[in-house]
Amino acid sequence: MMRIGKAAGWAAFGLAAVSSVLVALVSYRFLPLGVEGAMDFMAHHLDGNALALYGHIGVAPIALAVMPFQFLSGLRARRPAVHRWLGRLYVAAILVSGLSGLQLAFYTTAGSFAGTGFALLAVIWLGTTGAALVFALRRQFARHRFWMLRSAALTFAAVTLRVYLGILTGLGVEFETAYQLVAWLAWVPNALVMEAYLWTERQRKGALTQARPQLS
């Protein structure tokens, strides 16, 4: 039973890791095609917001591609320096792409409902990642891990956004409506699932500590 649980965990992690790296790579289609050719509904940002647009679409995929490697315990144990350097890259990428994503949120043509969803995501993304960094610097690694898992659930919104957008438009929902919905749907469930996971983990560890025999 335990083995099935572990295998399912690895399968879910593998799927999340592969989809993160794939979405990150596909995001760079604007390099050969240009923004107009690759994502024409973003092209209006070129007029006055070009720096934020390129800052976001050029840097956010780095955070997405790096994120899964940070959760490989083998890599962390054997190559702690690699974990630290990738961690710095992840945090720096989120600082740039979170701030630029926040700016883009104010200028989205998808309306204020979608803009609020994106803006809130940007603020919570920056906040959770900042908290994780502070706990790493204070060497409080259990808390660092908790906040990095929260940050990762939000980074993964880049994948879930594209999945939900595909499902909704596939079901016949108009692109404009689907886009407004995914501005929230892409990250709120991710955040809730992660909170549920962290809560369960805390309960399990609490039960283990209570069950352990006292030494004195």
Q: Which residues bind ligand HEM (CB under 6 A)?
A: 23-24, 27, 39, 42, 56-57, 60-61, 63-64, 101, 104-105, 108, 110, 118, 121-122, 125, 154-155, 157-158
Of residues 136 and 154, the one with the C-beta less far from ligand HEM: 154
CA torsion angle 200 122 23 184 (round to 10):
70
DSSP-assigned letters across all residues of 89-135: HHHHHHHHHHHHHHHHHHH-TT-HHHHHHHHHHHHHHHHHHHHHHHH
Nearer to ligand HEM, 118 or 146 (CB): 118
Cα separation, 153 vs 196, whole angstroms = 12
- Using alpha carbons, select from 116, 121, 186, 184 the residue that is nearest to residue 158: 186
Residue 118 CB, nearest distance to ligand HEM (Å)?
Answer: 4
Dist CA 166 CA 181 (whole Å): 12
Q: What is the smallest separation between the CB atom of 87 and ligand HEM, expressed in angstroms?
A: 16
Alpha helices in the chain, H assignment, sequence order: 2-27, 30-38, 50-66, 73-78, 80-107, 112-137, 141-155, 157-170, 175-185, 188-211
Structure tokens at 211: 């069950």
CB of 68 to ligand HEM, least distance (A): 12
Q: How far is the CB of 86 from ligand HEM (least distance, A)?
A: 15
Cβ distance to ligand HEM smaller for residue 61 or 68? 61
Pick 106 or 141: Cβ nearer ligand HEM: 106
- Other CB atoms within 10 Å distance of the CB of residue 137: 9
Question: Is the Cβ of residue 54 or residue 198 nearer to ligand HEM in the bound state?
Answer: 54
Taking the complex as a whole, how short is the minimal distance between the CB of residue 24 and ligand HEM, in angstroms? 5
**What is the closest distance, in whole angstroms, from the C-beta atom of residue 117 to ligand HEM in the complex?**
9
Measured from the CB atom, the residue of 104 and 136 that comes closer to ligand HEM is 104
